[in-house]
């Protein structure tokens, strides 16, 4: 794309008063407007950019019309290869911090026990763990475990809690650890 010198091409469109200029202006302003509106939303999500993709695709297509098919094919192959390598590397490292399957399996094996959470639970393991009844909220896990001796409390800790008799399970997650504390079993 940078070899096509889009800035010089836009200048030549302006100088020649090309009819394409009006369409490119509309596409550019539409793309920028959608991007600005969705950037103003406080909760950022990657899929918020989807409405801007058609505008960006048409703009890129316009400037890439002069590239040969062989060069496009080679570039696409390299990009797909880089994506595959990056995805494989992320799957082996980063994505493990987002996989809650081990915790869900632990919960599923003990689903008859009483369960509570001591953090801002957002339903992260509900489907994976096949939870049939909702978790209770436990502001004070120690007191909750005393009143539910066969129960478990899931809490989030920022540092590695190590091992102790009370910790039944721990799993590293995005920012810290999810730790399952057990009562007197």
- Return the pLDDT at 92: 86
Mean pLDDT of the chain: 84
C-alpha span between 67 and 168 (Å, rounded)? 60
Residue 156 neighbours by CB under 8 Å, 6+ apart: 118, 119, 173, 176, 177, 178, 179
pLDDT at 84 over 90: yes
**Over residues 93-104, mean pLDDT:** 84
Which pTM was predicted? 0.55
**Over residues 140-169, mean pLDDT:** 86
pLDDT above 90 covers what percent of the chain? 12
- Return the pLDDT at 143: 87
- φ/ψ (deg, to 5) at 181: -95, 140
Q: Compute how many other C-beta atoms are within 10 angstroms of the C-beta atom of residue 128.
A: 16
State pLDDT tens for residues 1-55: 556 676 776 777 666 777 777 788 888 888 889 888 888 888 778 888 888 889 8
Would you place residue 83 in the very low, low, confident or very high pLDDT band (cuts 50, 70, 90)? very high
């Amino acid at each position: 794309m940078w070899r096509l010198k889009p800035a010089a091409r836009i200048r030549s469109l302006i100088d020649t008063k090309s009819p394409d200029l009006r369409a490119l202006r509309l596409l550019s302003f539409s793309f920028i407007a959608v991007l600005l509106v969705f950037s103003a939303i406080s909760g950022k999500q990657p899929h918020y950019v989807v409405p801007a993709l058609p505008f960006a695709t048409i703009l890129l297509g316009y400037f890439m019309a002069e590239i040969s098919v062989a060069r496009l094919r080679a570039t696409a192959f390299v990009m797909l290869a880089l994506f595959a390598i990056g995805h494989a590397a992320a799957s082996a490292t980063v994505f493990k911090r987002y996989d809650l399957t081990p915790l869900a399996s632990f919960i599923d094996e003990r689903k008859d026990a009483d369960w509570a959470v001591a953090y801002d639970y957002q339903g992260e393991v509900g489907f994976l763990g096949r939870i049939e009844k909702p978790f209770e909220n436990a502001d004070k896990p120690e007191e909750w475990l005393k009143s539910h001796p066969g129960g478990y409390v899931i809490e989030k800790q920022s540092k590695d809690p190590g091992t102790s008799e009370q910790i039944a399970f721990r799993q590293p997650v995005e920012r810290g650890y999810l730790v399952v504390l057990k009562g007197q079993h």
